[in-house]
Amino acid sequence: MTNELPFRILLFALLALFIAHRGYYSHKYSPTENSTLKKREAQLTAKLANLLSLPALLATLLYIVIPGWMEWASLALPVWLRWSGVGMALLGFALLQWSHRALDKNWSDQPRLIREQNLITTGPYRWIRHPIYTAFLLILGSTLFLTANWFVGLFWLGSAGLDILSRIQFEEAVLIEHFGEPYRAYMKRTGRLWPRLI
């Protein structure tokens, strides 16, 4: 039988780091409403993503505090695969930090177009148009392996997937409208969430 304590501690650390990282950048780079040219309005997809994040968060907290209550959704994953979730999360955090450094003041917590918006094509943006969302999928997807719990993992992936879909649709439409042909050319040579292979 696997000792759950290391995974519970790691999951708590993962959540704390994710919240702290997001809070730091939200505080440091959140653009003002005066500098916003266009902002995504609340959509059904985004609202559904927020709804899915509530049971995901509750299930995660239950797994950390009272893991026995979440045993009904356990998966029989080998220990090495569960530990691979740690590597997946670390890769996600490295990509997240690299992306933030490349975006600098062009980042916003909510999809929007700001007056001083630049088309960033350096760092991970050289290969991927939305590496922060890739990082989110890696970090939140790692919960499936860390917890070996389908409910926790699938609800986090479902929530992140729906939110990311909504964000990408808005962002790409706005960036095409704002930058025109340079952004279309950028789209042809980059992948949306993963590097383009061909």
Tokens 């409910």, located at residue: 151
Model confidence, pTM: 0.92
Confidence of residue 1 (pLDDT cuts 50, 70, 90): low
Helix (H) or strand (E) holding 143: helix 131-147
Torsion angles phi and psi, residue 128, rounded to 5: -130, 135
Q: What is the pLDDT of residues 19-34, one digit of tens each?
A: 999 999 888 877 666 7
Q: What is the pLDDT of residues 154-169, one digit of tens each?
A: 999 999 999 999 999 9
3-state secondary structure of 148: coil
Report domain extents, the chain: 5-189
> Mean pLDDT over residues 71-75, rounded?
96
Tokens 């990082």, located at residue: 135
Query: Is 124's pLDDT higher than 60?
Result: yes
> Mean pLDDT over residues 115-135, rounded?
94
At residue 141, the pLDDT reads 96
Residue % of the chain over a pLDDT of 70: 94
Contacts with 87 (C-beta within 8 Å, 6 or more apart), sequence order: none
Q: CA 155, 159, 165, 171: dihedral to nearest 10 degrees?
A: -150
Query: Is 179's pLDDT higher than 60?
Result: yes
At residue 111, the pLDDT reads 78
For the segment(s) 5-189, the CATH number from 1.10.1070.11, 1.20.120.1630, 3.10.20.90, 1.25.40.10 is: 1.20.120.1630
Integer Cα distance of 70 and 59 in angstroms: 7
CA angle 71, 90, 172 (to 5 degrees): 100
